[in-house]
Amino acid sequence: MHQAQQFGVLPSTTITTLIIRCEPVRPRGPQCYKTKANFVPGFICCNKMLENLMHVTFEKLKTDGRLNGCNSQILANSLQAKAEATFNTSFEAISAKGNFASKVHFYGSYLCKLKKDGRYVLSIFVSEQKVVDLNGMLVYVVYLCS
């Protein structure tokens, strides 16, 4: 998809890209902690609200019968949609039946990985993207946290 179409403007519209680098929060920051599952130390999480959202989303899918043994993608998709709606920004979510490593730089305190009922889930906000109008010039702003 053409960059202009992605943001609802005509393809012939010129959009200037402005990239702003931000300082990532390190996983061992003061607001970060290890999740706990059955009194076993878990994974790094830096936002209680995001962690709670992940638990609630998981339980809702399980209760609705939509989370079966093979379908991990529905958990990632649902979590991404709920996080984006709750925090009003873009998120990435990964779900797998096996553990996976993640070496990421993230924005703010929006990082949480946990294990629940044999599934591993990571939710993260890595960058912010938007188009702004600066005196008639459309500027595509990307905040990169790397």
Alpha carbon 3 to its chain centroid, in Å, reads: 21
Residues in contact with 142: Cβ distance below 8 Å, sequence separation at least 6, in sequence order: 17, 18, 19, 20, 127, 128, 129
Structural domains of the chain, with CATH: 3-144 (3.30.740.10)
> Which residue in 14, 47, 50, 23 sits closest to 105, CA to CA?
23
Reported pTM: 0.66
pLDDT values of the chain reduced to their tens digit, one per residue, 146 residues: 444 444 454 444 554 554 445 554 444 566 888 887 655 567 888 889 999 999 999 999 989 888 877 778 899 999 999 998 998 888 888 888 888 777 666 666 788 888 888 888 888 776 655 566 667 666 655 554 43
